[in-house]
Amino acid sequence: MTPDSRKPTPPEDAQTPDADHLSDALEHLSSAVESESIATGAAKGLIYSVMETLGTLIGDPDLPEHARSGYEGLLETARKLRVRLEGGAAGDDH
């Protein structure tokens, strides 16, 4: 199988984020939101970043299906947290 020359090759030291690390990040962020120890705007920005990362990973055609399924679950968790943030007090930016 010949590598696709149109697809950029990642640097040698580049690694795919571990699903456990992304899950831990979402859990930590959820806890911070729950305890109101993070500004709403900052939490939204972090959630957006995690969702973008997960979307990129899910879109990788070389990603094994079992990994894709795990990342899709994390993306759903991130979406629920985003909805919770957006459903909170509007303009409440601690």
Band (26; pLDDT cuts 50, 70, 90): very high
Query: By mean pLDDT, which of 9-23, 31-45, 52-66 is the weakest?
Result: 9-23
Query: Taking the domains of the chain in order of start, what are their residue ranges?
Result: 39-87
Q: For residue 60, give Cα distances in angstroms to 2, 50, 51, 93.
A: 17, 16, 14, 35
- pLDDT computed for residue 77 by the predictor: 95
pTM of this prediction? 0.73
